[in-house]
Chains A and B, each alone.
Chain A
């Protein structure tokens, strides 16, 4: 079942094509990794996929319906968006912030905090012990998990995560990817922007490689990432170590 489908999506800003003719398909239970060098247009494409930015041309369908035609309240119950970690959260308790994920369902405050989806999200992300702590006191890794918990609390079929592991150490990045994989295993569809190609290869079912606003390649990781692509798109050469499938050592 196709959850999210983008066809030939383009956006121009200031006379420059930020995204041109990008396409992406997200099936139920799949993790799609959106990769590419900085400035490739990944974040802009993600904002369009999330319905936060209307494309100049092209079509984006969420659960079979044009995303621009879906009322924002309904869209919020079908798709959760985790932007790149930017602002420091307020000193609200973690549970209260995660419970904001129930807003699209019209649930607020105590009613939202008591909802099983919130407890489930806190448990899935291992935040149960921290749920009374002020969110402003969390470490980077805990904050990333809180953002995911907030997205999970809404209980949407689609999750879009823009660089959720960019600020995390290897152990936390791994556990975050395991969490997302687990959610896909329960039937959700996930699109994730990644820079860590090793984790991208290991955890994503499909990769979509963008460069200069266009999708250069898409498909299973081993088909997308080869030595040629690494050289032309990222400008690095790959030195393989042993029989590793993933590019292990990257050199200029």
Chain B
């Protein structure tokens, strides 16, 4: 069925199956792969860079910026102008947040980065709440809440193109930091003495933060906030990669893609009246993983 449809697309025939796959399923699957991969990879990179297994892409505040951008589009009614206003608004919000974040952090260290991210995300959350507060119609605020939960429903290839540049650039930047992340397991002074520049224009911090911010911002702009993937996937795969940060990167990206692809399939197939939002499902699955980790941690005591 799907293969037939794919063959039809490649041959340029326009059957019903081909249209469904090309217009609905394929962009959705591609976005699931891109968004999941980005969340998994950036989670692994940030956890490695900050040497904190609880870091997740949200701490940069860029997701908050993207959400604010998208919510502003709802508020201003730009939605009516074009269906693309929403992801473009999200992208604009994310890019503004990236610029502010990089400016705030400058040559500061990881503590400055964490503080800047916390400041940025709480400010973006406050402004998002303000917009929700001021939004004229209850219908619009319902739409906003719904979008904020994160979903890949009704996405097209245009969404893929909007998301792609940031994801590609961000991924390359993050992958280039792999060896430095290994060196950082020994502490910042040792990493620098091993020949890695941590700060400065093309330093490790710039590559990690800019890479994660660009790719996550682009993803949140098209999918909304999808939590727990960036936190849980690297966390679960870390023991399988010998706890070495550089070896965690690719598996974590693949794991994130697979998880989101699977989760999206579940929300598409399982029917509970209204369609489950993807972000709700990942949170429902992700949070219990942490409960299990807590219990295991108490048992082994390590």
Binding site for B on A (CB under 8 A): 47, 50-52, 72-77, 79-83, 86-87, 89-93, 96-97, 100-101, 103-104, 108-109, 134, 150, 154
Interface residues of B in 170-203 (CB under 8 A from A): 179, 182-183, 185-187, 189-190, 192-197
**Complexed CA–CA distance, A86 and B190 (Å):** 11
Given contacts A83-B187, A92-B242, A108-B246, contact A76 B193 (CB under 8 A): yes
Q: A83-B189, A103-B179 are in contact. List 5 more A-B contacts (CB 8 A).
A: A72-B196, A97-B186, A100-B186, A100-B194, A103-B183
Interface residues of B in 138-187 (CB under 8 A from A): 179, 182-183, 185-187
**Complexed CA–CA distance, A100 and B247 (Å):** 13
Query: What string of 1s and 0s marks CB contacts (under 8 Å) between B235-249 and chain A?
Result: 000000011101100
The 8 A-B residue pairs with the shortest CB-CB distance in the complex, in nearest-first order: A76-B195, A81-B193, A73-B195, A72-B195, A83-B189, A92-B243, A91-B243, A90-B185
Kindly list chain B residues whose C-beta atoms are within 8 Å of the C-beta of A87. 51, 186-187
Q: Check B195–A96 contact: CB distance below 8 A.
A: no
**Complexed CA–CA distance, A134 and B187 (Å):** 17
Kindly list chain B residues whose C-beta atoms are within 8 Å of the C-beta of A79. 193
Kindly list chain B residues whose C-beta atoms are within 8 Å of the C-beta of A91. 243
Q: Check B194–A76 contact: CB distance below 8 A.
A: yes
Q: Check B192–A52 contact: CB distance below 8 A.
A: yes
**Complexed CA–CA distance, A87 and B110 (Å):** 15
Residue in A closest to B193 when the chains form the complex, CB atoms: A81
* Distance in Å: Cβ of A110 to nearest Cβ of chain B: 11
**Complexed CA–CA distance, A72 and B190 (Å):** 12
Given contacts A76-B195, A90-B243, A92-B242, contact A100 B182 (CB under 8 A): yes
- Contact residues on B (Cβ < 8 Å of other chain), bracket: 20 to 34
Interface residues of B in 227-268 (CB under 8 A from A): 242-244, 246-247
Q: Check B244–A50 contact: CB distance below 8 A.
A: no
Kindly list chain B residues whose C-beta atoms are within 8 Å of the C-beta of A90. 51, 185, 243
**Complexed CA–CA distance, A26 and B210 (Å):** 41
Given contacts A81-B189, A83-B189, A108-B179, contact A93 B195 (CB under 8 A): no
Kindly list chain B residues whose C-beta atoms are within 8 Å of the C-beta of A134. 243
Q: Check B187–A86 contact: CB distance below 8 A.
A: yes
| Interface Cβ pair total, 8 Å cutoff | 69
Kindly list chain B residues whose C-beta atoms are within 8 Å of the C-beta of A81. 189-190, 193
Kindly list chain B residues whose C-beta atoms are within 8 Å of the C-beta of A96. 242, 244
Residue in B closest to A150 when the chains form the complex, CB atoms: B186
Given contacts A79-B193, A91-B243, contact A100 B187 (CB under 8 A): no
Q: Check B193–A50 contact: CB distance below 8 A.
A: yes
Q: Check A93–B242 contact: CB distance below 8 A.
A: yes
Residue in B closest to A154 when the chains form the complex, CB atoms: B194
Cβ-defined partner of A104 (8 Å) among B186, B195, B242, B243 = B195
* Distance in Å: Cβ of A105 to nearest Cβ of chain B: 10
**Complexed CA–CA distance, A86 and B189 (Å):** 11
* Distance in Å: Cβ of B96 to nearest Cβ of chain A: 33
Q: Check B185–A92 contact: CB distance below 8 A.
A: yes
Kindly list chain A residues whose C-beta atoms are within 8 Å of the C-beta of B182. 100, 103, 108
Residue in B closest to A92 when the chains form the complex, CB atoms: B243
* Distance in Å: Cβ of A60 to nearest Cβ of chain B: 14
Q: Check A104–B194 contact: CB distance below 8 A.
A: yes
Residue in A closest to B239 when the chains form the complex, CB atoms: A91
Residue in A closest to B241 when the chains form the complex, CB atoms: A92
**Complexed CA–CA distance, A96 and B245 (Å):** 12
* Distance in Å: Cβ of A85 to nearest Cβ of chain B: 10
Kindly list chain B residues whose C-beta atoms are within 8 Å of the C-beta of A51. 193
Q: Check A92–B197 contact: CB distance below 8 A.
A: no
Most chain A CB inside 10 Å of its own CB: which residue of B187, B194, B197: B194
Kindly list chain B residues whose C-beta atoms are within 8 Å of the C-beta of A97. 185-186
Subset of 27 A-B contacts with CB under 8 Å: A47-B189, A50-B189, A51-B193, A72-B192, A72-B195, A72-B197, A73-B195, A77-B195, A81-B189, A81-B193, A83-B187, A83-B190, A89-B186, A90-B185, A92-B185, A92-B242, A92-B243, A92-B244, A96-B242, A100-B185, A100-B186, A103-B179, A103-B183, A103-B195, A104-B194, A109-B246, A134-B243
**Complexed CA–CA distance, A77 and B193 (Å):** 9
* Distance in Å: Cβ of B301 to nearest Cβ of chain A: 13
Kindly list chain A residues whose C-beta atoms are within 8 Å of the C-beta of B197. 72
**Complexed CA–CA distance, A101 and B190 (Å):** 10
**Complexed CA–CA distance, A181 and B183 (Å):** 27
* Distance in Å: Cβ of B107 to nearest Cβ of chain A: 13
Most chain B CB inside 10 Å of its own CB: which residue of A73, A86, A90: A90
Given contacts A87-B187, A90-B185, A93-B242, contact A52 B179 (CB under 8 A): no
* Distance in Å: Cβ of A46 to nearest Cβ of chain B: 10
**Complexed CA–CA distance, A101 and B185 (Å):** 12
* Distance in Å: Cβ of A102 to nearest Cβ of chain B: 10
Kindly list chain B residues whose C-beta atoms are within 8 Å of the C-beta of A93. 242
Kindly list chain A residues whose C-beta atoms are within 8 Å of the C-beta of B194. 76, 100-101, 103-104, 154
**Complexed CA–CA distance, A150 and B179 (Å):** 16
